[in-house]
Amino acid sequence: MPVAPLNPAALYRPCDPRDLEFETTEDLDIVDGIIRQDRVIEAVHFGIGIHQEGYNLFALGPSGTGKFALIRGVLEQRARAEAVPSDWCYVFNFEDVHRPRALCLPPGQGLEFMRDMEQLVAALHRSLPSLFESDEYRIHAQALAEDLEQLQERAMTEIREQAKAKDVILLQTPTGFTLAPVRDGKPLGPNEFQTLPEQDRHRIEQDIHTLQGELRKVMHQLPVWKKRADELLETLHREMVSAAIESPFDHLSAKYANQAAVVDYLCQAQQDVVEHFRQLLPERESPPSDPWVQASDDGPPWHHRYCVNVILSHPENGGAPVVVVDLPTHHQLVGRIEHRSHLGALETDFTMIRAGALHQANGGYLIVDAAQLLMQPFAWDTLKRLLRAGEIRIESLAHMTSLISTLSLEPEPIPLDVKVVLIGERHVYYWMYDSDPEFCELFKVAVDFDDRLEWTLDTVRGYAEFIALEVQRAGLRHLDRAAVARLVEHGARLAEDNERLSTHLRSIGDLVRESDYWARIAGRAIVGCGEVQRAIDAQVARADRISRRLIEEITRGSILLETRGERVGQVNGLAVMRLGGCAFGHPSRITARVRLGQGEVIDIERVVKLGGPIHSKGVLILQGFIAGRYALDDPLSFSASLVFEQSYGGIDGDSASSAELYALLSALAAVPIRQALAVTGSVNQLGEVQAVGGVNDKIEGFYDVCAARGLVPGQGVLIPAANVTHLMLRADVREAVAQGRFAVYPIATIDEGIEVLTGQVAGERGRDGAFPVASLNARVEARLIGFSKRLQRAASSGAL
């Protein structure tokens, strides 16, 4: 029974505005504006709910399907109910100045601790100078000075008494102390000393020598006594400073008693203040030797070491963080250590440590674009290493790559507890999975977004809410329900399926904005169906230059394509061209030629390396179909050539294999094919016509060529019957079908298709194993048997 063309109702599925329970999008109560994908949401909840190593997530799917919005919405909803992570800060390490300490504090206490330390340092600057101006300090210092003076005086007094007993006097000169003989209480000069009897001179010289020894002992003791006095004075300083700062430090230690690391740091800081208290005084007694103590006019002040660098602080009721990284470089992930220029050199300290995205997301969730991550040097390797180690270690790329060998800071690592969500296209996920063994160990949860959803009332409602949200976000005009219905229909066209809706919400959002533009031009307060259709038409018009040019060349005859008459071995095939975001159907002539041969079907496209592997596979399949259906008792003894005429670029895909087979059958049977028809569809070895992609664009492409030349009765397109559910054709095509000026034929088998194309019965084998006389299949088989017999006669006669 001949195949009947499709009814116009089968060419398009309308969305009835009466099914939408609102007048305009203003009436909608928006929940979140996200079209739900239950399988995706279940995978996300599983990934964020399982707290095991390696269960990070990868959200994969086409761009523009709302992956980011859905993932972020689910994570933020979950994060609001989770505990707020701890604050983290870096402080000076009094034991190793190059390894700053990391302190963990409860949420909100990081900034509070920083302010407490600032107030403490300010209080020390006020209290310590006054401490050394107090009467108590003066009394104790004066007592120590007097003790030293008395000790020195007693020692010198003993020397004087010994000298006096031996007629010697101790004199103090500008160069020091000296001993001289005396007579009658007066020192003797050299001449007078020489007048003394030799025995007296000898005795006095011995006494002076003995006294000089005693004097030297005393003089040697003076520095020792001075040092001892200085030590006692320093002990006094430390005791007084220790007593003065004990109360504020004890107050802070009590305040942070539950934080052992903070208390330990405060104890070390308290000892350091006692050790270097002079640096907090207005005038310094001597330049310090500790490089961290030294200060310059351009450098930071000495008390900078008591600062607290809060790199991460969270509000107490903010929930867990959800952090999005736009540019996931190495330093954006792990943080960095900044430097300042000082006296021609670069220097740094713990206050110049800056947090990265992993610090900010610690205790929560981190969302990263996978493609961007892979493009940044060392970023992917860094992320893997930190996730495996379970800690954040701030490292510079210069040190990692050994480009620079200088002394720098090595901040103490911070424990890492984060769920990482990578977002990317499917090919990125599969490439990472296949090329990196560590990927599947660290990202065990795949969140696979579908590019289309079943057309139901729920998905239509989701479309409407998404449209309403876009209107609200961008401050656009609201859409009436007819406009929303037209957008739903366009979503089915994008999905190329009248039972599915596309999840490429970016395209729908763009169309909403463009519809608002046309409504503004028309002066309408509400966007209607007309404005949506105008926006769709304008999108096509902006991108159809190549399509128009090809149609123009066909109508002018530059590209040979017949839409009327009949031809043997010639058929109109349909292909889809995709340029940027534009796709359109392009008909082209396919021809077949046959002659006596060795059973070979030559694919000219493959021979000249213009045909891709899938196209070549299609040609081999149709060769298998011929061999399996006709002349089963005879060898195939024909040679055929197939070609896309006026094709100058690469060809791939098997959607033209049925058209090639029709051309081949026409050439073998010498039966002409109606050129008013075009064909698309792939074929298998059993002769079944299989579904192909781009069926709407292909039909409309041939229709546009026919319309440009003027529609005549009998024009139409043959499509696979399996593609009927994919039809969402333009209004002008549907109207032409309704008026009988164009037709769309659903074809299930090659026999059905060849009957429509030739107007002859294909014929089926009877019980006798033969095709009906005068049927097309009988003519094909007779031609092939004839080729075989001719080849056998030529072989027996020695002509071969």
State the greatest distance between any 2 C-alpha atoms of the chain, in Å, as a whole number: 172
Torsion sign over Cα 531, 532, 535, 536: negative
| Phi, psi dihedral angles at 682 (to 5 degrees) | -95, 165
- Residue linked to tokens 């549907």: 734
Q: At what angle do helices 198-255 and 135-165 cross, to 10 degrees?
A: 160
Using alpha carbons, select from 747, 786, 751, 755 the residue that is nearest to residue 765.
751
* Helical (H) or strand (E) element with 206: helix 198-255
724 contact partners, CB below 8 Å, separation of at least 6 = 6, 10, 746
* Helical (H) or strand (E) element with 326: none
- Contact (CB, 8 A) for 412 and 102: yes
271 contact partners, CB below 8 Å, separation of at least 6 = 94
Phi-psi region of 298 (alpha: psi -120 to 50; beta: other; left: phi over 0): alpha
CB atoms within 10 A of CB 52: 6
User: What DSSP string describes 753-769?
Assistant: HHHHHHSS------TTS
Residue 616 designated active-site: no
Using alpha carbons, select from 198, 194, 193, 172 the residue that is nearest to residue 182.
193
Using alpha carbons, select from 430, 349, 300, 330 the residue that is nearest to residue 98.
349
- Contact (CB, 8 A) for 313 and 110: yes
Catalytic residue among 655, 657, 682, 788: 655
Using alpha carbons, select from 25, 23, 27 the residue that is nearest to residue 471.
25
300 contact partners, CB below 8 Å, separation of at least 6 = 349, 351
Residue 165, CA distances (Å) to 154, 156, 185 in order? 17, 14, 12
CB atoms within 10 A of CB 529: 19
- Residue linked to tokens 């010994």: 162
- Residue linked to tokens 């020792």: 224
439 contact partners, CB below 8 Å, separation of at least 6 = 432, 433
| Phi, psi dihedral angles at 683 (to 5 degrees) | -130, 150
Separation CA 334–CA 338 (nearest Å) = 13
Chain centroid, CA 288 distance in Å: 49
Separation CA 701–CA 772 (nearest Å) = 37
| Phi, psi dihedral angles at 353 (to 5 degrees) | -80, 130
Chain centroid, CA 16 distance in Å: 41
Contacts 24+ apart (CB under 8 A), 209-213: 211/159, 211/162, 211/163, 211/166, 211/168, 211/170, 211/179, 212/179
Looking only at the bridges linking them, the beta strands covering 672-674 and 566-568 are: antiparallel
Separation CA 46–CA 448 (nearest Å) = 13
The two tokens of residue 346 are: 């670069």
Separation CA 574–CA 588 (nearest Å) = 6
Residue 655 designated active-site: yes
Separation CA 155–CA 170 (nearest Å) = 12
Using alpha carbons, select from 371, 500, 427 the residue that is nearest to residue 62.
427
- Count of residues making up the chain: 800
- Residue linked to tokens 């969270």: 314
Catalytic residue among 67, 502, 698, 788: 698
Separation CA 73–CA 23 (nearest Å) = 28
Where in the sequence numbering do the catalytic residues fall?
Answer: 655, 698
